[in-house]
Amino acid sequence: MRPEAPSPDTGRRSLVLGLGCERGTPPAELIDLAASVIACPEQIVAIATLDVRAGEPAMLAVARHFSVPLVTFPAARLEAETSRLANPSDLVFAHTGCHGVAEAAALAQAGPDARLLVEKTKSAHATVAVAESFQGFAVACSETESAPSHFDSNREYA
């Protein structure tokens, strides 16, 4: 990871964790992979992934673990990030319709000026990437034990 530079407005970094996984990936595997690339978990503002993984227990477990919302994107939106990916993959495209899930989801959620801090990192059944965002994020989670909100980026919210 690059040296930490705090966000100018909050004094802390805003990191987006992009995740990809096979169906049925054990939650512990995805949590462990995510934790392995994050030095300061309190800087994570969102988990982002492909929309077809929205209900995947491992994805929901990671969002709960870090107490942040899970945000999903359709494959076409993730494909729009291809030019920004460090590791585009034709194999991933053949399976998902986009050239990357973890890196693309992190960048899509983090915004147009985001930078990729951690390139795609793999475990047996999953991938993770981290992007730093320079846009503001509203706090989307309460301090209760309830599961974080899920946002489908394909829908518009009032």
What ranges do the domains of the chain cover? 15-135
Residue at 61: amino acid letter: A
User: What are the start-end ranges of the H helices in the chain?
Assistant: 27-36, 57-66, 75-79, 90-96, 102-110
pTM of this structure = 0.81
State the pLDDT at residue 58: 98
CATH fold of the domain at 15-135: Nucleotidyltransferase; domain 5 (3.30.420)
pLDDT at position 13 is: 84
| Per-residue model confidence (pLDDT) at position 81 | 98
Bridge partner residues of 38 (DSSP): none
Predicted pLDDT at 11 = 54
> What is the rounded distance in angstroms from the CA atom of residue 18 to the CA atom of residue 44?
11
Q: Is 51 helix (H, G, I), strand (E, B) or coil?
A: helix
| Predicted local distance difference test score (pLDDT) of residue 135 | 84
- pLDDT tens, residue order, the chain (158 aa): 333 444 444 556 899 999 999 999 999 999 999 999 999 999 999 999 999 999 999 999 999 999 999 999 999 999 999 999 999 999 999 999 999 999 999 999 999 999 999 999 999 999 999 999 998 754 433 232 333 345 555 544 33
- In the prediction, which pLDDT does 142 show? 29
Question: Judging by beta carbons within 10 Å of its beta carbon (0-12, 13-18, 19+), is residue 16 exposed, middle or buried?
Answer: buried
pLDDT, residue 43, reads 96
